[in-house]
Structure 1
Amino acid sequence: MESLQEWYANLETAQILAIIWKVVGALLIFIIGRWVAKAVVALANKAMTRKQLDAMLVAFLGTILYSALLLCVILASISYVGVAITPLIAILGGAALAIGLALQSSLSNFASGVMLVGYQPFTKGHFVEAGGVSGTVERVGLFNTQLITPDNRNVIVPNGQITSAPITNYSAFETRRCDLLIGVDYGDDLKVARDTIWKVITGHEKVLKDPEPAILVMDLADSSVNFAVRPWVNAADYWVVRSELLEQIKTELEAAGCSIPFPQRTVHHVNDGSSAGSD
């Protein structure tokens, strides 16, 4: 404390002003540089948007660009004060190596985020099953991906968990096949059942004409003859059409005299003719 007071007492007014000016200058460089960095990122985002790049890719690249520019601004501010940058960069490099070894999982998530943005297995607004979670993609960040589930829950999934498992993108194509399995009783007329199902699916306004629907006898099961019913619909209409078709098919099959059996087992009792007598 005494040495600090002695050093301060020996300072001349010009030296004090020089130090104050350096500190003020460093703050000005940081404030102005940060504003310039934000402006550059905003311009870059607009340019990428005009080129019709994916919104998720624009946000990802904008975050990386801003981080790089802000680091340059910080180094420039420190250099203006008079601190040597070269030894500082060496120290930061060593620290970065140590931190990288300690945060391997985070770096893995970052690398996975770069892969997701680069290869784009999905984009914002797609409904996917990824990392064990099903939901609509809201955002892909540097380390994690944000999904909104159908019941409106916000789920944050690490990027490494997504790239290490299969990804199912239900929104990759505009159309989707709606697979239904309809069982009828063995005693029913299969032609009547087929014609009834065909009338229902071709009469639905949201079932596509091309590709043409298909009805196939898929299996002779234990309790029923199973039809594989395969109409095509727009991906956005999938769940609504599926629900409506199931309800209408059941109603129309019953009206046509067909039944949809439930699992059952027939037990045959054999009487050997023996009986116990009594006095």
Structure 2
Amino acid sequence: MHEFMSWVASPDSIGLNLIIALAMLVVGWAVSDVLGAGVRKAAARSSRIDPTIVPIVRSIVVWTIRGFTLIAVLARFGVQTASIIAVLGAAGLAIGLALQGTLQNIAAGIMLLALRPLRAGEYVSVVGKADGTVEEVGLFLTHFRQSDGIQITLPNSLVWGNPIVNYSRNATRRLDFQVGVRYGDDLDLAVETLRGLIGHHKLALPEPKPQVMVNEYRDSTVMINIRVWAQSSDYWDLNFDLYQSARKALEDVGLHLPIPVREVRTLTSGGQGA
């Protein structure tokens, strides 16, 4: 109590402490920003650092420095930092119990970074929640960018708690593509034409060997399935190109687009069909 009264009674000390405390805050915040930016630059220069972990590492570095800065400022005013840490620990426990969902997001974020089911730059589907390219896995939220440019943000617990389909992790993907041929056309010719198309396509991989096979009969149409492997980065280019080139290749050899046929019967007044 005596120390407190003597501190209050000294306006010069108050002013000096305020100036020093303000300077410490400014320097501490500036240092945290500089080191946070340094973490990002170091990660950008090194190919060995996974960009997925950079946001969380940056946040930890920045807020660790700021936390020590705040404790140092309190110590400057004579506050017992050990007591402050104990109070913060108790408050943290109470807040943690009240914010269990938030803590689940932090835990889920740690698991996402530890097990790596997705990484920044990969195209994934969180089944039932979102599809898009991973931009950032943060401490609480994961950010995705859809193919149409719209950004989607999900809590980490939703990402971790649902099936994740990663379309970019493997180097190659298999494309299954169907083409219809009408009944009466030469199936052998159609199959050989499509095999030639795939065999000379620059985006189709020779291994595993492409397959062209009849696999389904529909009304007025025989379906031929093309099964071919491509680099993951070329998957959609190959898919869209086949929509144009497969149909054109069949037409060039005299095979035409199937036309649905329906048999319509009418009843005459005598009840006989015509």
Aligned residue pairs total 264
> One-letter code of the match for 2:194?
I
Q: Say whether the 8 Å CA contact 2:17–2:76 is kept in structure 1.
A: yes
Code of the residue aligned with 1:103 in structure 2: it is L
Task: Name the CA distance, whole Å, in 2 between partners of 1:236 and 1:51.
Answer: 20
Q: After superposition, give the CA deviation of every residue in 1:2-40 in whole Å (9 maximum; x if it has no partner).
A: xxxxx89x93xxx22222222222223323333343444
Match in the other structure for 2:195: 198
8 Å CA contact 2:182, 2:259 repeated in 1:
no
Alpha carbons of structure 1 residues 223 and 98: separation in structure 2 relative to 1, 3 Å: farther
Can you list the C-alpha shifts for 1:98-143, whole angstroms capped at 9, x where unaligned?
A: 3222322222112111112222222222111125222112111111
Stretches of structure 2 lacking an aligned partner (at least 5 in a row): none
Structure 1 letter corresponding to 2:130? V
Secondary structure, in 3 states, of the residue corresponding to 2:19? helix
1:216 correspondence with 2:217: no
Question: Is 2:137 aligned against 1:148?
Answer: no
Q: Which residue of 2 aligns with 1:175?
A: 172
TM-score calculated relative to the size of structure 2: 0.83
- SS of the residue corresponding to residue 231 of structure 1 reads strand
The structure with the larger Rg is: 1
User: Cα distance, 1:81 vs. partner?
Assistant: 0.6
| In structure 2, C-alpha distance between the alignment counterparts of 1:232 and 1:110, rounded to whole Å | 38
CA distance in 2, matches of 1:174, 1:62: 30
AA aligned to 1:235 is: S
Which deviates further from its counterpart, 251-260 or 119-128? Answer: 251-260
- Please, which of 20, 24, 28 is the counterpart of residue 15 of structure 2? 20
Identity of paired residues, percent? 34
Deviation at 1:198, TM superposition (A): 0.9
Q: Partner of 1:239: helix, strand, or coil?
A: helix
Which sits farther off after the overlay, 145-154 or 257-266?
Answer: 257-266
Match of 1:258? 255
1:173 partner letter: N
Map of 1:88 onto structure 2: 84
The answer for unaligned runs of 5 or more in structure 1 is 1-6
Residues 160-217 of structure 1 show CA distances to partners (whole Å, capped at 9, x for unaligned) of 1111111111111222211112232332222111011112222222222222211133
Instruction: Give 2:136's aligned amino acid.
Output: R
Q: Which residue of 2 aligns with 1:185?
A: 182
2 CA distance for matches of 1:56 and 1:155? 17
Residue type at the aligned position of 2:17: K
Q: 2:242 maps to what in 1?
A: 245
Partner of 1:33: 28
Distance 1:241 1:51 in 2: 29
User: Could you tell me how far apart the structure 1 residues matched to 2:69 and 2:86 are?
Assistant: 18
In the TM superposition, what is the alpha-carbon distance from 1:264 to its structure 2 partner?
5.3
Matched, 1:158 2:164: no
Q: Aligned in 2, Cα 1:215/1:274: closer, same or farther, shift over 3 Å?
A: closer
Query: What's the secondary structure of 1:145's corresponding residue?
Result: strand
Q: In 2, Cα distance between the equivalents of 1:256 and 1:120?
A: 49
* Whole-angstrom CA distance in 2 between matches of 1:142 and 1:264: 59
1:185–1:223: 8 Å Cα contact kept in structure 2?
yes
2: distance between equivalents of 1:136 and 1:125? 6
Deviation, structure 1 residue 268: 7.5
TM-score (norm 1): 0.82
Matched, 1:123 2:119: yes
Relative to structure 1, the CA distance from residue 159 to residue 189 in structure 2 (aligned partners, 3 Å threshold; closer, same or farther) is same
Comparing 88-97 with 258-267, greater Cα deviation is found at: 258-267
**Preserved CA contact (<8 Å) 1:184 1:260:** yes
- Provide the aligned C-alpha RMSD in A: 2.8
CA contact (8 A) 2:106 2:139 kept: yes
Is the Cα contact below 8 Å between 2:204 and 2:228 reproduced in 1?
A: yes
